[in-house]
A and B are shown apart, each in its own frame.
Chain A
Amino acid sequence: GAVVSQHPSRVICKSGTSVKIECRSLDFQATTMFWYRQFPKQSLMLMATSNEGSKATYEQGVEKDKFLINHASLTLSTLTVTSAHPEDSSFYICSARRTSGGAGTGELFFGEGSRLTVL
Protein backbone atom coordinates (compact mmCIF):
# COMPACT_ATOMS: atom_id res chain seq x y z
CA GLY A 1 0.00 0.00 0.00
CA ALA A 2 0.93 3.64 -0.32
CA VAL A 3 2.99 5.07 2.50
CA VAL A 4 3.06 8.64 3.69
CA SER A 5 5.55 9.61 6.34
CA GLN A 6 5.73 12.71 8.49
CA HIS A 7 8.70 14.03 10.37
CA PRO A 8 9.10 14.86 13.16
CA SER A 9 6.39 12.95 14.97
CA ARG A 10 6.79 15.16 18.01
CA VAL A 11 8.34 18.57 18.39
CA ILE A 12 8.55 21.00 21.27
CA CYS A 13 9.62 24.54 20.63
CA LYS A 14 9.76 27.89 22.36
CA SER A 15 7.29 30.61 21.63
CA GLY A 16 8.43 32.81 18.77
CA THR A 17 10.45 30.18 16.97
CA SER A 18 9.61 28.48 13.68
CA VAL A 19 9.05 24.78 13.17
CA LYS A 20 9.14 22.81 9.95
CA ILE A 21 7.17 19.59 9.45
CA GLU A 22 7.84 17.33 6.50
CA CYS A 23 5.39 15.11 4.67
CA ARG A 24 6.78 12.54 2.27
CA SER A 25 5.11 10.05 0.01
CA LEU A 26 7.54 7.15 0.15
CA ASP A 27 6.42 4.90 -2.66
CA PHE A 28 4.31 7.05 -4.94
CA GLN A 29 4.20 10.49 -6.46
CA ALA A 30 1.74 13.02 -5.16
CA THR A 31 0.87 16.11 -7.13
CA THR A 32 -1.38 17.20 -4.34
CA MET A 33 -1.01 16.95 -0.60
CA PHE A 34 -3.26 18.22 2.13
CA TRP A 35 -2.48 19.59 5.57
CA TYR A 36 -4.91 19.18 8.44
CA ARG A 37 -4.98 20.28 12.03
CA GLN A 38 -6.54 18.17 14.73
CA PHE A 39 -7.32 19.38 18.23
CA PRO A 40 -7.72 16.86 21.06
CA LYS A 41 -10.86 14.78 20.66
CA GLN A 42 -11.83 16.83 17.64
CA SER A 43 -12.06 16.23 13.94
CA LEU A 44 -9.51 17.03 11.30
CA MET A 45 -9.76 20.51 9.90
CA LEU A 46 -8.33 21.11 6.46
CA MET A 47 -5.81 23.91 6.54
CA ALA A 48 -4.51 24.00 3.01
CA THR A 49 -4.00 22.14 -0.21
CA SER A 50 -0.40 21.84 -1.28
CA ASN A 51 0.24 21.72 -5.01
CA GLU A 52 3.55 20.63 -6.49
CA GLY A 53 5.27 23.49 -8.23
CA SER A 54 2.68 26.11 -7.35
CA LYS A 55 1.32 28.05 -4.41
CA ALA A 56 -0.73 26.34 -1.78
CA THR A 57 -4.44 26.99 -1.50
CA TYR A 58 -5.46 27.93 2.02
CA GLU A 59 -8.82 27.39 3.64
CA GLN A 60 -10.72 30.35 4.94
CA GLY A 61 -9.39 31.58 8.25
CA VAL A 62 -5.95 30.00 7.90
CA GLU A 63 -3.12 32.51 7.93
CA LYS A 64 -0.91 31.79 4.97
CA ASP A 65 1.93 33.90 6.35
CA LYS A 66 1.92 31.91 9.53
CA PHE A 67 1.59 28.45 8.02
CA LEU A 68 4.00 28.35 5.12
CA ILE A 69 3.59 25.45 2.76
CA ASN A 70 6.10 24.38 0.17
CA HIS A 71 5.57 21.49 -2.22
CA ALA A 72 8.95 21.37 -3.93
CA SER A 73 8.76 17.89 -5.40
CA LEU A 74 6.27 15.16 -6.18
CA THR A 75 7.16 13.38 -2.96
CA LEU A 76 7.66 16.15 -0.42
CA SER A 77 5.56 18.89 1.09
CA THR A 78 6.59 20.95 4.10
CA LEU A 79 4.58 22.95 6.58
CA THR A 80 6.42 25.66 8.49
CA VAL A 81 4.75 27.19 11.50
CA THR A 82 6.34 30.60 11.79
CA SER A 83 6.66 32.54 15.03
CA ALA A 84 4.87 29.77 16.86
CA HIS A 85 2.70 30.55 19.86
CA PRO A 86 1.13 28.24 22.44
CA GLU A 87 -2.20 28.38 20.63
CA ASP A 88 -0.50 26.77 17.63
CA SER A 89 0.05 23.64 19.69
CA SER A 90 -1.85 20.90 17.93
CA PHE A 91 -1.62 17.69 15.97
CA TYR A 92 -0.81 18.31 12.31
CA ILE A 93 -1.57 15.63 9.76
CA CYS A 94 -0.82 15.47 6.07
CA SER A 95 -2.40 13.35 3.38
CA ALA A 96 -1.57 12.66 -0.23
CA ARG A 97 -3.22 11.28 -3.29
CA ARG A 98 -1.44 9.22 -5.87
CA THR A 99 -0.78 11.07 -9.09
CA SER A 100 -1.68 7.87 -10.91
CA GLY A 101 -3.05 4.45 -10.08
CA GLY A 102 -5.54 5.07 -7.30
CA ALA A 103 -6.33 8.53 -8.57
CA GLY A 104 -9.80 7.48 -9.60
CA THR A 105 -10.83 6.19 -6.21
CA GLY A 106 -10.59 9.35 -4.17
CA GLU A 107 -8.51 7.54 -1.59
CA LEU A 108 -6.10 9.68 0.33
CA PHE A 109 -3.16 8.29 2.27
CA PHE A 110 -2.35 9.86 5.60
CA GLY A 111 0.85 10.45 7.46
CA GLU A 112 1.32 9.50 11.08
CA GLY A 113 0.86 13.06 12.24
CA SER A 114 3.14 15.51 14.04
CA ARG A 115 2.41 16.76 17.51
CA LEU A 116 3.58 20.32 18.02
CA THR A 117 3.88 21.75 21.50
CA VAL A 118 4.77 25.40 21.82
CA LEU A 119 5.98 26.46 25.25
Chain B
Amino acid sequence: AQTVTQSQPEMSVQEAETVTLSCTYDTSENNYYLFWYKQPPSRQMILVIRQEAYKQQNATENRFSVNFQKAAKSFSLKISDSQLGDTAMYFCAFMKSLRSEKLVFGKGTKLTVNP
Protein backbone atom coordinates (compact mmCIF):
# COMPACT_ATOMS: atom_id res chain seq x y z
CA ALA B 1 0.00 0.00 0.00
CA GLN B 2 1.11 3.50 -0.71
CA THR B 3 1.88 5.90 2.10
CA VAL B 4 2.50 9.62 2.11
CA THR B 5 4.46 11.32 4.87
CA GLN B 6 4.56 14.99 5.67
CA SER B 7 7.02 15.48 8.49
CA GLN B 8 6.22 19.12 9.23
CA PRO B 9 2.92 19.51 11.10
CA GLU B 10 3.25 23.29 11.14
CA MET B 11 5.36 25.92 9.46
CA SER B 12 5.41 29.66 9.28
CA VAL B 13 6.95 32.14 6.91
CA GLN B 14 7.13 35.87 6.57
CA GLU B 15 5.23 37.50 3.78
CA ALA B 16 7.26 37.74 0.54
CA GLU B 17 9.69 35.05 1.64
CA THR B 18 10.09 31.53 0.35
CA VAL B 19 9.07 28.36 2.15
CA THR B 20 9.46 24.69 1.31
CA LEU B 21 7.09 21.99 2.48
CA SER B 22 8.36 18.43 2.59
CA CYS B 23 6.68 15.27 1.41
CA THR B 24 7.93 11.73 1.00
CA TYR B 25 6.03 8.73 -0.19
CA ASP B 26 6.39 5.03 -0.52
CA THR B 27 5.30 3.02 -3.53
CA SER B 28 6.42 0.16 -5.69
CA GLU B 29 4.81 1.71 -8.75
CA ASN B 30 6.91 3.24 -11.51
CA ASN B 31 4.28 5.51 -13.02
CA TYR B 32 2.03 7.50 -10.73
CA TYR B 33 0.85 11.01 -9.98
CA LEU B 34 1.64 13.37 -7.15
CA PHE B 35 -0.33 16.38 -6.04
CA TRP B 36 -0.24 19.23 -3.61
CA TYR B 37 -3.63 20.40 -2.40
CA LYS B 38 -4.38 23.50 -0.38
CA GLN B 39 -7.16 23.61 2.18
CA PRO B 40 -7.74 27.20 3.35
CA PRO B 41 -9.82 28.03 6.40
CA SER B 42 -12.91 28.04 4.16
CA ARG B 43 -12.24 24.29 3.90
CA GLN B 44 -12.61 23.66 0.17
CA MET B 45 -9.60 21.75 -1.14
CA ILE B 46 -7.91 23.33 -4.10
CA LEU B 47 -5.33 21.75 -6.37
CA VAL B 48 -2.06 23.64 -6.22
CA ILE B 49 0.19 21.63 -8.47
CA ARG B 50 0.49 18.21 -10.07
CA GLN B 51 3.44 16.07 -11.14
CA GLU B 52 3.46 13.01 -13.34
CA ALA B 53 6.14 10.56 -12.24
CA TYR B 54 7.24 9.84 -15.78
CA LYS B 55 8.17 13.47 -16.29
CA GLN B 56 11.63 14.44 -15.14
CA GLN B 57 10.95 18.14 -15.30
CA ASN B 58 9.67 19.65 -12.09
CA ALA B 59 6.19 21.14 -12.33
CA THR B 60 5.75 24.88 -11.85
CA GLU B 61 2.62 26.96 -11.39
CA ASN B 62 3.37 30.64 -10.94
CA ARG B 63 4.79 31.01 -7.41
CA PHE B 64 4.51 27.30 -6.70
CA SER B 65 7.07 24.76 -7.80
CA VAL B 66 8.02 21.27 -6.79
CA ASN B 67 11.26 19.42 -6.33
CA PHE B 68 10.47 15.91 -7.47
CA GLN B 69 13.15 13.37 -6.66
CA LYS B 70 11.83 10.06 -7.92
CA ALA B 71 14.67 7.89 -6.67
CA ALA B 72 14.39 9.39 -3.22
CA LYS B 73 10.57 9.34 -3.38
CA SER B 74 10.49 12.95 -2.39
CA PHE B 75 8.08 15.62 -3.57
CA SER B 76 8.57 18.97 -1.86
CA LEU B 77 6.59 22.13 -2.55
CA LYS B 78 8.26 25.51 -2.75
CA ILE B 79 6.19 28.63 -2.37
CA SER B 80 7.95 31.78 -3.49
CA ASP B 81 6.99 35.32 -2.56
CA SER B 82 4.59 34.03 0.09
CA GLN B 83 1.30 35.88 0.43
CA LEU B 84 -1.12 36.11 3.32
CA GLY B 85 -3.63 34.19 1.23
CA ASP B 86 -1.28 31.23 1.16
CA THR B 87 -2.13 30.54 4.80
CA ALA B 88 -3.76 27.10 4.74
CA MET B 89 -3.30 23.42 5.32
CA TYR B 90 -1.27 21.83 2.55
CA PHE B 91 -1.71 18.19 1.74
CA CYS B 92 0.60 16.09 -0.35
CA ALA B 93 -1.25 13.33 -2.18
CA PHE B 94 -0.45 10.26 -4.25
CA MET B 95 -2.50 8.69 -7.01
CA LYS B 96 -1.49 5.29 -8.30
CA SER B 97 -3.09 5.75 -11.68
CA LEU B 98 -5.69 7.86 -13.40
CA ARG B 99 -7.85 4.77 -13.62
CA SER B 100 -7.82 4.22 -9.86
CA GLU B 101 -8.41 7.91 -9.07
CA LYS B 102 -7.91 7.16 -5.40
CA LEU B 103 -5.91 9.78 -3.61
CA VAL B 104 -3.76 8.88 -0.63
CA PHE B 105 -3.12 11.95 1.46
CA GLY B 106 -0.40 12.89 3.88
CA LYS B 107 -1.35 14.30 7.27
CA GLY B 108 -0.87 17.85 6.10
CA THR B 109 1.27 20.84 6.98
CA LYS B 110 -0.32 23.91 8.44
CA LEU B 111 1.33 26.93 6.85
CA THR B 112 0.97 30.36 8.33
CA VAL B 113 2.15 33.40 6.42
CA ASN B 114 2.89 36.26 8.77
CA PRO B 115 2.67 39.92 7.77
Which A residues are within 8 Å of any B CB, using their own CB? 32, 34, 41-46, 49, 91, 93, 95, 97, 103-108, 110-113
Say whether B50 contacts A112, CB under 8 Å: no
Chain B, interface size: which category?
A: 20 to 34
Q: Is B105's beta carbon under 8 Å from chain A?
A: yes
Closest 6 CB pairs of A and B: A110-B45, A43-B105, A43-B107, A113-B43, A112-B44, A106-B33
Q: List 12 A-B contacts (CB under 8 A).
A: A34-B101, A42-B107, A43-B106, A44-B45, A44-B91, A44-B105, A46-B104, A95-B45, A104-B98, A108-B101, A110-B44, A112-B42
Q: Is B103's beta carbon under 8 Å from chain A?
A: yes
Within 8 A of A (CB), among B42-65: 42-47, 50
B102 interface neighbour in A46, A111, A112, Cβ under 8 Å: A46
- Label chain B's interface by main secondary structure: strand
Nearest chain-A residue to B42 (Cβ)? A112
Which B residues are within 8 Å of any A CB, using their own CB? 33, 35, 37, 42-47, 50, 91, 95, 98, 101-108, 110
Given contacts A43-B107, A46-B103, contact A107 B47 (CB under 8 A): yes
Query: How far is it, in angstroms, between the C-alpha of A13 and the C-alpha of B103 when the chains are bound?
Result: 30
Besides A43-B91, A93-B43, A110-B45, 13 new A-B residue pairs in contact (Cβ under 8 A), listed by A number? A41-B108, A41-B110, A44-B91, A49-B101, A49-B102, A91-B43, A93-B45, A95-B45, A104-B98, A106-B50, A106-B98, A108-B47, A113-B43
Query: How far is it, in angstroms, between the C-alpha of A104 and the C-alpha of B101 when the chains are bound?
Result: 11
